[in-house]
Structure 1
């Protein structure tokens, strides 16, 4: 009997901490997040979606994920965690944001309690991460989304070339004959890769990015084999993006330039070190040996965060001048991505491919 009482003393606190959300709360918060997400200008949901993309929690088709959070418990938990992060890991701020999303009053406190309890051990990490993202400019202090087309597309007139309608008042500087340089035109292009996922035909690319910025060219796979034709957006620039519209309505999107402005799924881009990919995948993965068939291409994600998510990556070694070390990773073999020798070789992402499921 004494043992049973001791068991209860330990078991009751554990049971109290193992909180779950009611179906009503899940349905409510999922619907409210989807509604705010569709506005594309709600600061909280913009932040949450950015973090879902950056962390890979939203998968390749993050738009679809955000609209169906109730069907994906892991994605919903991630979205709630990032809402908590957006709220500076402060319970009262979180409650205010839940109310601002029009969450039903009966669900606000259960949701806040669930979110805080589930993420309280990560609170400092989340706050530090947000502060660092702000510091490096990865997220703006006032979150916003780019929705306007680029300046060379219809509907946008660059400040430097705009004509003033007849009879309209001239700017003071112009009236005074000022020779001051015109303010630089803001880059309003949509750099979200997920914008391409919903497209169904090449014309959509031309509509969004301008016909003069889209060309049909030969394409190759990661191993250099010819695969037919692909549409190139901003060809021969740092922002070049290759898009193939497959017969099954899926799309294959490839990036090969390091300094592009594109915001890609999982936040991975060419030039990223292999260690960053380890962290995004949340575990080590397996890579084919260099200088061989499929050399440097990920062979298996080993059940990590990017497993079965339509991501293919080709790596290259920048410091391959040490033959003895480099030979350990070349030939008909596979190596683990957390091998310490890879840092000495400075192995980085060479190309990254995202394949959508529809």
Structure 2
């Protein structure tokens, strides 16, 4: 769950800041996002990409968590967001209409849902559109883009919810806090584009973190038992 919280925070806060969102010149993705994840930590990033290419120390606050991060190549079409846990890189993401980055699996910003379906090797499930987490992949349904060692987290959107090709009524049928198979005829008709992409190392809590999470859930979600008189 923490991985998804990291992603949601990173993307929802920063999507509107993407420097290439209005760039009309096509970008040929040629940099490999997995290489950023492979740097392991800030020192590795600086060694590979140079200190001048990084806004090294940034942070985002979400509820009780302060998430540490860096921005690689800020303000350029090579901009990427890097998040750490215990000093190790766990999340690398790009947002916008296009970017110079792609993944080893062949993903890059601007791909259509039908293209991603081919890369996954089968259908997958996304959340409904037209809300903050709209168009986010919920499950890869056992396809090639799922996995235990590396997770691809994607969000599809139709910029500004314009939903070209669909009426408002049709769009409402695939919107909201529900889950949809991308084979749904209206999703296939819309064929939305990929505008948020992250690769994440699955997070396994330590024993103490697990206990803390369990205690928090118990405290906030489970009502105290009543003592018998």
Question: Normalized against structure 1, the TM-score is what?
Answer: 0.42
CA gap 1:265/1:283 in 2 versus in 1, 3 angstroms: same
Structure 1: distance between partners of 2:133 and 2:113: 17
1:348 deviates by 0.9
1:248 deviates by 8.0
- Kept after mapping to 1: 8 A contact 2:182/2:188: no
- Kept after mapping to 2: 8 A contact 1:193/1:264: yes
Alignment length, in residue pairs?
A: 166
- Kept after mapping to 2: 8 A contact 1:271/1:348: yes
- Kept after mapping to 2: 8 A contact 1:275/1:338: no
1:227 deviates by 6.1
- Is 2:53 aligned against 1:213? yes
Gaps of 5+ in 2: 1-27, 204-229
- Kept after mapping to 2: 8 A contact 1:254/1:353: yes
- Kept after mapping to 2: 8 A contact 1:239/1:257: no
1:230 deviates by 1.6
Where does residue 295 of structure 1 map in the other structure?
134
- Is 2:72 aligned against 1:229? no
SS of equivalent to 2:169:
helix
Please identify runs of 4+ aligned residues in structure 1 that moved more than 6 A.
Answer: none
- Kept after mapping to 2: 8 A contact 1:200/1:245: no
* 1:55-75 C-alpha deviation (Å, 9 max, x unpaired): xxxxxxxxxxxxxxxxxxxxx
Q: 1:356 aligns with which of 201, 206, 209?
A: 201
- Kept after mapping to 1: 8 A contact 2:41/2:89: no
Where does residue 32 of structure 2 map in the other structure?
192
SS of equivalent to 1:244:
strand
Structure 2: distance between partners of 1:219 and 1:346: 32
SS of equivalent to 2:146:
coil
Indicate the RMSD between aligned Cα atoms, in angstroms.
2.7
1 or 2, which has the higher helix percentage? 1
SS of equivalent to 2:108:
coil
- Listed as ranges, the matches of 1:113-132 within 5 Å are none
- Kept after mapping to 2: 8 A contact 1:238/1:257: no
Structure 1: distance between partners of 2:184 and 2:60: 32
Structure 1: distance between partners of 2:172 and 2:142: 27
CA gap 1:332/1:265 in 2 versus in 1, 3 angstroms: same
Structure 2: distance between partners of 1:329 and 1:218: 34
- Kept after mapping to 2: 8 A contact 1:314/1:351: yes
Q: 1:320 aligns with which of 159, 163, 167?
A: 163
1:253 deviates by 0.6
Where does residue 12 of structure 2 map in the other structure?
none
SS of equivalent to 2:117:
helix
Q: 2:99 aligns with which of 260, 264, 270?
A: 260
Where does residue 335 of structure 1 map in the other structure?
180
1 or 2, which has the higher strand percentage? 2
Gaps of 5+ in 1: 1-137, 139-189
1:295 deviates by 2.2
Greater radius of gyration (CA):
1
* 1:7-37 C-alpha deviation (Å, 9 max, x unpaired): xxxxxxxxxxxxxxxxxxxxxxxxxxxxxxx
1:323 deviates by 0.7
